[in-house]
Amino acid sequence: MALPVLRLLPVYDAGRRSHTTCKYKCGEQCFRPEDNTSDNEYFGDIVASISRRTALRGAGVAVLGIGAASALAACDSGAGTDGSVGASSTGASGAPGTGNVPNAPGLVFDAVAPNTKDAVTIPDGYEQAVVIRWGDPVEPGAPKFNAHNQTPEAQAKQFGFNNDFAGLIPVDGRPGSYLLVCNQEYTTGTQMFYGYREGAPTENQVRVEMAAHGLTVVELKGETGSGRLTPVIGDTNRRVTASTPFELRGPAAGTVFTRTKADPAGNRVLGTIANCSGGITPWGTMLSGEENYTNYFSGAQNPPVEGLKEGWKRYGVGKDEDYHKWGLFEDRFDLAKEPNEVNRFGYIVELNPHDPHSIPVKHSALGRLKHEGSNIYVTPAGDVVAYTGDDSKFEYIYKFVSSRRIQRGPGAAAMTSNMRILDEGTLYVAKLSGAAPNEGEVPTGGYRGKGRWIPLLTVREDGSAQSHVDGMPAENVAVFTRVAADKAGATKMDRPEDIEPNPKTGKVYCALTNNSDRGADGKAGIDAANPRTKNKSGQIIEITDDHTGTEFSWDLLLVCGDPAAADTYYGGFDKSRVSRISCPDNVAFDSHGNLWISTDGTADVFDTNDGLFGVVLDGAERGLTKQFLTVPFGAETCGPIVTDERIMVCVQHPGETDDATAEKPASHWPDGGDSLPRPAVVAVWRTDGRIGT
Ligand code: FEO
Ligand code: CA
Ligand code: CA
């Protein structure tokens, strides 16, 4: 009998965040040294070595609507901001961290109070239901979920584990019908399987986990008079797993870094993993970011390919303990046997959810990072800009400006053309400037500054690529984009998570979730946009971008955390009248132009559950922050969708505490009784049947 694996655990210092989540989700990034050890502060010296052949092109100001988000909670949008206090059964009034939160257009509900319940808590006057949960049937022939008899074949047809991003696409010509697109970020064997042995999973368990990763497309049917959505086993339903073929496109394809024994051409990759956030494109596809993929690979040794060593180091390959152990049963996840497989993950992936037979794409022209996700802005002229963040401590913000324009209108020809938009254009990284504040003192007029986009890589119409970074060939920039961005002197940020343009204003919002190492010994100190040492609560940056150009200005909308603390900032709004928010992760917008933020990590800071918040962006109430819901104990909130009819969130890793197992779950949400906790998508709607204005 194999002996249990013994190892010294690192000192756990991440607040109350579950160590289990850190192990399986992000490779213990809270504990190990950062991947970014670059000294790229001397922008002025480096900029001279970067060629600047990418022309500044015309700037657009208006916005092409994306998904036409609108606000369920705006039903009483004419209501005054009278300072009325929510008095719901959720205990809004005067509860710690809730404040005396007034109404505002789009935010007319009673603020939900922080709590530690094993439930989704919503304001009075709203109803909720699970839309779909881990194990629910998706593809035709899928069996019902059976926690005691999981098989890879069943899981490959069922909803996957730990959904993060969610998008809702109305089906043309069929009112009340939608395609829900989700990704499944990671698996946690201890939560999924009875009898799971950490470090020594069975092959069946590993193959179930591989099938529980990836993407899901499922048709949903609405019902008149409510926001309830019910899955339909439709023709377009699809599961994409860790084994589904993808086309790798762009400068990384076919290179010495991406060819493998199974794929000597280096352009056909099996699967997508660690998919975090994402976006719906204006042409109706889904984008998703491959984030913490390195901790799925074992066997890191001296890399056999010239140039790989620096790249592996910069991405943390080999630093992470491989808790998933897929390499035990599939050689490509063992770096000693297939060193290049890890270089085939870390891209923005695109899926056409309308065609269940389409081959999804990995877009290397957008660089290889630990991508959180990507969202698109389209100028009035049709130029397309994709924003993306690299979610690790001290990593960077990027954008890709396509050289192709969007082809408007329906039809296969438009889709085919538009799915080539992300193949050609220029990838940039952000360099921010501004005077560093005195820590804890909000600068007069708020936190603000300027910035430049530094070009890294251009892909031309004929597919040839040009590096803008001295000493790095184009394929190296595409595969080891972090190294290129270091050389460009990019600004080290506090973990850039979701980044998305507001369809109403075109301003771009990025959640900087936290960075407990900011200002630590030997690490980058505070700067204008990252103004706190040991930043546990994060901030939201608002970028006013010359979208196709290279200049921008920025403000900090929120410096999150305890409103009573001197080092927090709520857009200049009265901090005694806001809901407390920490660790912003995903962002979305409503029809009023309000920002909605889901959080991941509130328990680290305040010992309460994560949630969803609405924030006013413009006018006298700018910075008014109001909590709409909380998710169950141990979960994070993600994937928010805010429309007139309903608000939806993904509930990821409910009950994932350190000592929880399938035999001893810390949550029984959503099924109750003695059930396993099951990650799920939830819809919330008004009980009075009214919809938005
Ligand atoms: Fe998967 Fe950046 O959170
Ligand atoms: Ca995230
Ligand atoms: Ca988003």
Atom of ligand 1 nearest to the CA of 513: 2
Give the pLDDT score at 320.
Answer: 72
Least confident of 309-323, 425-439, 620-634: 309-323
Give the pLDDT score at 224.
Answer: 87
Identify the band that residue 100 occupies on the pLDDT scale cut at 50, 70 and 90.
confident
> Does the pLDDT value for residue 53 go beyond 50?
no
Is 322 close to ligand 1, i.e. is its CB under 6 Å away?
A: no
Tokens 């629910």 appear where? 136
Domain assignment present for 208 = yes
Give the pLDDT score at 383.
Answer: 98
Under a CB-based contact definition with an 8 Å cutoff, are residues 667 and 677 in contact?
yes
Nearest CA to ligand 1 atom 3: 276
Tally of structural domains, the chain = 1
Is 497 close to ligand 1, i.e. is its CB under 6 Å away?
A: yes
Identify the band that residue 306 occupies on the pLDDT scale cut at 50, 70 and 90.
low
Domain assignment present for 498 = no
Domain assignment present for 495 = no
Around ion ligand 2, residues with a beta carbon closer than 5 Å are 276, 497, 585
* Separation of CA 424 from chain center: 24
Atom of ligand 1 nearest to the CA of 25: 1
The mean pLDDT value for 159-176 works out to 95
Is 372 close to ligand 1, i.e. is its CB under 6 Å away?
A: yes
User: What is the side-by-side order of every strand in the sheet holding 680-686?
Assistant: 126-133, 680-686, 647-652, 636-642
Comparing 345 with 78, which gets the higher pLDDT? 345
585 alpha carbon – ligand 2 mean position (Å): 5
373 alpha carbon – ligand 3 mean position (Å): 8
Distance CA 429, CA 482 (A): 10
Alpha carbon of 393 to those of 32, 49, 290, 344, 524: distances in Å?
A: 11, 26, 16, 22, 10
10 alpha carbon – ligand 1 mean position (Å): 21
Under a CB-based contact definition with an 8 Å cutoff, are residues 370 and 392 in contact?
yes
Token pair in block for residue 578: 């806001």
Nearest CA to ligand 1 atom 1: 276
167 alpha carbon – ligand 2 mean position (Å): 15
Q: Residue 409 sits in which domain range?
A: 5-490+503-686
User: Considering the chain, what is the average pLDDT of its residues?
Assistant: 88
Distance CA 490, CA 454 (A): 8
Domain assignment present for 231 = yes
634, HSE (Cβ side, Cα atoms, 13 Å): 25
CB-based contacts of 275, cutoff 8 Å, min separation 6: 164, 165, 183, 184, 185, 213, 214, 215, 288, 289, 290, 291, 349
Under a CB-based contact definition with an 8 Å cutoff, are residues 625 and 613 in contact?
yes
Longest dimension (CA), the chain: 69
178 alpha carbon – ligand 2 mean position (Å): 24
Domain assignment present for 691 = no
Instruction: Report the sign of the C-alpha dihedral through residues 450, 455, 456, 458, in that order.
Output: positive
Distance CA 196, CA 209 (A): 12
3-state secondary structure of 168: strand
Distance CA 358, CA 362 (A): 13
Domain assignment present for 497 = no
Atom of ligand 1 nearest to the CA of 600: 3
Domain assignment present for 176 = yes
277 alpha carbon – ligand 3 mean position (Å): 7
Domain assignment present for 55 = yes
Global pTM value: 0.91
